[in-house]
Amino acid sequence: MKLSLLNKLALVSFAVTLVAVGTLYMYVAPGLQTRLLDQKLSQLAHAACSGSYYLRYGARRSGTRWSARHSGTRWHKHCGRASTLRAIESLPLATIRSRVDTAADSSGYRVSLLSATRTRGRLKLSLQADSSRPTARQPLSFPVAAAAASVGELRAAIESTKKGIFAEAADPIRTRTGTDVIVFSARTSGLARSVAVVRHEILVAGLIALLVGLVGNYGVARALSQRVKRLERAAERIAAGEFEHPIRVDSTDELGQLAIAFNAMQRQLAQLELARKKFIATASHELRTPIFSLGGFVELLEDEDLDPETRRRFLDQLREQIERLRKLSVDLLDLSKLESGSLELRPEEVDLTELTRSVLGEFEPTVAQHDSQLELQLAPPSITVTCDPVRVAQIMRIMIDNAITHTRPGTTVVVSAGRENGHARVAVRDDGEGIDPLALQRIFEPFYTGENAQGSGLGLAIASELAERMAGRLSVRSAPGATTFTLDMPA
């Protein structure tokens, strides 16, 4: 089954929320239980330390509470080792039991006093006093008391029984005959209930978050999907050749930026389509005119009564029309090669000044016919560059031909070559009327021609592309009375 973008976004968001809730439920809650249990053991340890002191001396240590705040495993500096400051067996049993009950009432924990004796190497515990009533006592074996009596230091641990889990802390008290151990204990069922409540709250909150997230994510995904659908429909319209309806830009996010880029592409495609149609019309006219002329001249030349002068004039016009067709076909072939990337360049070291002189000489008949002036300015006398001389000469021809063709008779065209800022530069300047600012922005686009311009609109586009292929640049500056096309190439 193929999932749509809408469903994919909703499912991914749902999965992320589910993983987050699952992580809280599976890892945070058990960790909370462990931390609460550690805190309870630390409190019992502090209480056992205080209770041991009270049991021996009948008074609390100054500033000491039965249930001290959690402080990790750091217990009171007077706890953690057995003391013989006063023998507890010298106290009457009633006094000991009274103190045990007082300690239990003050701390809120069960307090037990056990006597630890060794018989044949085995440690035996016997209950001397217990704060709980015999009928309410939980059957505890107090393993923590045996551990504390064995090492002579305060110990805290948990004990699991059939009645539940108990937290215990034991502080040893040395006597003349052995060791007594005071044990503070408490049931941990309250901790388990607290953790269960937390887990239940996490589960309920997680389910609500999943539901709200699913609805919210579906709404966001739906909105994103609709915006993507708009782009898809716009692409289909463009594929069908409709460029009149831009996409509505309703945000500044990534999709909004994509819509802006899409509209820019649509405008460029519209301009390209307009240029293509204009080129087809121009090319049809350019091809139709010489072809019709050729057909007419052929029919005229079939007349055997033509005098030699007329026949020669017709032949000259035939050559002009054939030259127009040749130039158009060459331009179309060059443009096709540039667009397909199959145009091959043959770079070599070239004297740019000599190449400029050679190209300029080709235009002497044209300049004379146009009644224009062609001026050459070279500085320095020799400029060596690495380039394809055939293609550089082609660019120069296009620049000079453009200056002569699109200016009035009598125009002065200045061709200059030199070095500037590490580049070789060839510039063609004329003193014509200049180029319209709107046309100036698109003058290097394929197929583009001005309002009253003649030709196919391919020459400058081909020249610009050839310059870029040789790591150069063709640029133009124009104002009324001065237009300059400049070719820059690495020297």
Residue 121: its pLDDT value, please? 74
Per-residue DSSP letter, 211? H
As given in the structure block, the two tokens for residue 382 are 């020799």
Residue 72: its pLDDT value, please? 36
Residue 283: its pLDDT value, please? 66
Which among 221, 197, 213 is positioned nearest to 21, based on CA atoms?
213
Q: Are 462 and 451 in contact (CB under 8 A)?
A: no
As given in the structure block, the two tokens for residue 444 are 């290097």
pLDDT band at 351 (very low <50, low <70, confident <90, very high): very high
Instruction: Give the pLDDT confidence of 132-149 residue by residue, as tens digits.
Output: 877 667 788 889 988 988
Cis bond leading into 134, ω under 30°? no
- CA–CA separation, 217 and 207 (whole Å): 15
Which domains does the chain show, CATH number per domain? 5-194 (3.30.450), 254-340 (1.10.287.130), 348-490 (3.30.565.10)
As given in the structure block, the two tokens for residue 222 are 């739906």
Which among 256, 265, 487, 278 is positioned nearest to 383, based on CA atoms?
487
Residue 473: its pLDDT value, please? 93
- CA–CA separation, 201 and 466 (whole Å): 72
Higher pLDDT, 83 or 281: 281
Averaged pLDDT score across all residues of the chain: 80
Q: What is the mean pLDDT of the segment spanning 119-130?
A: 84
Instruction: Give the pLDDT confidence of 6-50 residue by residue, as tens digits.
Output: 677 667 777 777 777 777 777 766 677 778 888 888 888 888 888
Which among 145, 107, 152 is positioned nearest to 126, based on CA atoms?
145
Long-range contacts of 398-402 (CB under 8 A, 24+ apart): 398/459, 398/460, 398/462, 398/463, 399/426, 399/428, 399/463, 399/485, 399/487, 400/359, 400/360, 400/363, 400/374, 400/428, 401/363, 401/366, 401/459, 402/428, 402/459, 402/460, 402/485
Q: Is pLDDT above 90 for 67?
A: no
pLDDT band at 68 (very low <50, low <70, confident <90, very high): very low
Which among 417, 368, 429, 371 is positioned nearest to 393, based on CA atoms?
417
Residue 354: its pLDDT value, please? 92
As given in the structure block, the two tokens for residue 326 are 């040749």
Q: Is pLDDT above 50 for 81?
A: no
Q: Is the entire prediction scored with pTM above 0.75?
A: no
Residue 467: its pLDDT value, please? 92
By three-state DSSP, how is residue 23 classified? helix
Q: Is pLDDT above 50 for 82?
A: no
Q: Is pLDDT above 70 for 453?
A: no
Q: Is pLDDT above 90 for 92?
A: no
By three-state DSSP, how is residue 470 classified? coil
Residue 416: its pLDDT value, please? 93
Q: Is pLDDT above 90 for 389?
A: yes
pLDDT band at 84 (very low <50, low <70, confident <90, very high): very low
Residue 483: its pLDDT value, please? 92
Residue 451: its pLDDT value, please? 62
- Pairing of the two strands 384-387 and 412-420: unpaired
Residue 455: its pLDDT value, please? 61
Mean pLDDT comparison of 18-32, 233-247, 395-409, highest-scoring range = 395-409
Q: Is pLDDT above 70 for 74?
A: no
Q: What is the mean pLDDT of the segment spanning 342-371?
A: 88
- CA–CA separation, 131 and 107 (whole Å): 11
Of 51-65, 332-346, 405-419, where does mean pLDDT reach its minimum?
A: 51-65
pLDDT band at 388 (very low <50, low <70, confident <90, very high): very high
Q: Is pLDDT above 80 for 221?
A: no
As given in the structure block, the two tokens for residue 194 are 């607290």
